[in-house]
Amino acid sequence: MEDNFKHRGLRKQLVELLKQKGIEDEGVLAAIDNVPRHLFFFDTAFLQHAYEDKAFPIGNGQTISQPYTVAFQTELLNLKPRMKVLEIGTGSGYQSAVLAQMGVKIFTIERQHQLYMKAEALLDELKIKARCFYGDGYEGRPSYAPFDRILVTCGAPEIPEGLKGQLKVGGRMVIPVGGVNQVQKMMTLDKISESEYKITEHGDFQFVPMLENTNNAR
């Protein structure tokens, strides 16, 4: 669990790269600078890749998102401290840790049981506050709704209706939308009123798919 000067140096370089790629939000850049991404790799054999701007396998056929993607999605969320944020797709827990650094309250759902267990244990060990749930992200977390922000970190075939309902009026969802094995369009959905939404596209990205049915995911 060590975070040494070498890791910190590599993170500074990563932050510079993200700036060059267009990330401007100082809070987001500070969060990337502060979260030791190498600890979220689960497998220490690959630590040298932790500060490259690349997605990487974390087991169970899933990936830790590319740092640029994490930064871009976090920037699109336009967070204010203490907001309630629902994340779909905990994966490694890295994005949750970045959100925690931004001072928001995190609720995060993962459908793969092993990943849920690992991420929850790791976040706990790092003393990062995030409420982790094992389940189907399509269902959201009605008992904690409404949320100021919803962040989907897997590619959804379409914007799930159930999640729209769990967003506050004035709130925003950030979600990559597109079919399996296709590129997805990054979208923001702003909830203008209980029945009006404004959807904006923000370019192409590639994510693992947002799957239905929790039963096969152990």
- Respond yes or no: is residue 65 known to be catalytic: yes
Tell me: does residue 88 bind ligand SAH (CB under 6 A): yes
Give residue 137's Cα distance to chain centre. 13
* Tokens representing residue 133 in the block: 């749930």
| Of 23, 86, 95, 140, the one binding ligand SAH by CB under 6 A | 95
Tell me: does residue 76 bind ligand SAH (CB under 6 A): no
Residue 142 CB burial class (10 angstroms; 0-12, 13-18, ≥19) = exposed
Tell me: does residue 74 bind ligand SAH (CB under 6 A): no
- CB of residue 37 to ligand SAH, shortest distance in Å: 9
* Tokens representing residue 115 in the block: 């990943």
Q: Which helix (H) or strand (E) holds 152?
A: strand 147-152
Nearest residue to ligand SAH, scored by beta-carbon proximity:
91
Given the rule CB under 6 A, which of 25-33, 78-86, 131-139, 175-183 is the region that contacts ligand SAH?
131-139
| Of 74, 101, 153, 184, the one binding ligand SAH by CB under 6 A | 153
CB 155 within 8 A of CB 207: yes
Q: Which has the closest alpha carbon to 28: 87, 85, 70, 81?
A: 70
Token match 């640029």: residue?
68
User: Given the complex with ligand SAH, which of 57 and 170 has the nearer CB atom?
Assistant: 57
- Cα end-to-end distance, the chain, whole Å: 27
Q: Which of 65, 92, 96, 193 is catalytic?
A: 65
Beta bridge partners of 63: 57
User: Given the complex with ligand SAH, which of 27 and 135 has the nearer CB atom?
Assistant: 135
Tell me: does residue 115 bind ligand SAH (CB under 6 A): yes
| Of 138, 167, 171, 187, the one binding ligand SAH by CB under 6 A | 138
- CB of residue 185 to ligand SAH, shortest distance in Å: 17
| Of 64, 99, 130, 173, the one binding ligand SAH by CB under 6 A | 64
How many Å apart are CA 123 and CA 106, to the nearest integer?
12
Q: What is the DSSP string of 165-200?
A: HTEEEEEEEEEEE--TTS-EEEEEEEE-SSS-EEEE
* Tokens representing residue 119 in the block: 């991420």
| Of 77, 136, 150, 163, the one binding ligand SAH by CB under 6 A | 136
- CB of residue 2 to ligand SAH, shortest distance in Å: 21
Residues in touch with ligand SAH (CB under 6 A): 62-65, 88-89, 91-92, 94-95, 109-112, 115, 136-138, 153-154, 208, 210-211
Residues classed as catalytic: 65
